[in-house]
A and B are shown apart, each in its own frame.
Chain A
């Protein structure tokens, strides 16, 4: 009995030690992007995952001594966390509403729109539901997943269906757009409403069904420095990079529309 207890204590201590070691320490040093080491945390919408990870790498390479850590999630969740005082330096959301809410909460003071996105229907590669157009989503027997209404892509989907005059009964309202994509790639649903960037990023794992531009709904992506950030200069530099031609090129390549 004692032996088990000692072993258990040793395991617990090791875990604590590892956790302590792996937590990144925020820089704390002042000064410009060049000179000294600076680490920033960027809170970004899930749909920005692939392109922002790339931009982060490029930024660090171009500015030695800087590290960019990301926290991806539903924009509204991230906004909430920022309002509660989460330690982030940059916020990039998938809708003006969520950014506005962050401003109202005092987490962000100013922002700029850096990209737009439109919706697209994604189906598993073998298209079990025979979905050829948006209207097929309203067909009986077709299982559809969307984001939950409180997050930007969910709100956009609701808008989309209203605009197209369709009554769609989704079988699930997922927490964020990546979760919808997962359900599609696993083949659990016949179709999911995601962004074009997600379809592009998923490659051969999904089959995309385009939505005509006149029906489609677009969302804006604003980005801003978090007011309470301790790395104001580095954060501003990252925002500038995203807004720069280099940043725009990467965004366009990923399927985002112009700001």
Chain B
């Protein structure tokens, strides 16, 4: 069990992140570049000193600025995997994996046996005698993980482990990584800026922006009810801030009104999430059931696979997904006036509560 309060102030960086991860749980730190995610990881590893705060793992205090306790990185039972595998180039794969085992006191034969065990577990046995320079990116990353795990850590830290891989390798390795993280008994903290990593790998998602935690929760919840524009953009949702009344009518801060289903949340400041796929486009004002109807001007078109994302400016502005055929039918082009309609059901209204813990 990891309990950490990480505060690092260095130059322009001001970081304050509180984290907890239970045994077997995978916590993913997600956020834009420069948010402080890697710094948090380095602080947990002991490679960056804390300005204030406390880190405890399985009850053992690793770092406590107030009490003056600091356990150096080599004595922390923590494994770290980088986006750059950093395999020792002068050692074979087997000796690389055995490195941590030997460092903790085993003799060479014993260490090699443990290493072979891990290589087999991760289906890398045929690479045992190969030098790191002969490995592919994906293989090297796997070996780096095996090396970290072989040393028997109680906490696993992964810093953008898939970032250096090409797209096709990434999905394969991501799946394998999920397997290994699941079978790893201790907590894992993984840092990424790729939302797909977060959605696939996380048990708990912690969003970090500008050195602060802005949202935390299970990935499904975060994906459905993002609290920040960054997350909304990542998961592809329209996000609005406003004030909701008891009937479900939301006065949007940026202008406009949206009518949602009256929720149990009650009146007060609220966030509204809207899937682009739930927005319908019309060339003239539509009649009928949708409670939300307004007009706007097409600002841009973007092809996404089998559909087109249309950016429409209006009160409010919105991203709408339509089929390519619809684009042709409606004669969509920049500057064209269009009408938008959204069903009340399709609007997700929720509180912008501060991130728990």
A and B touch in the complex (CB under 8 A): no
* Residues of A participating in the B interface, judged by any CB pair closer than 8 Å: none
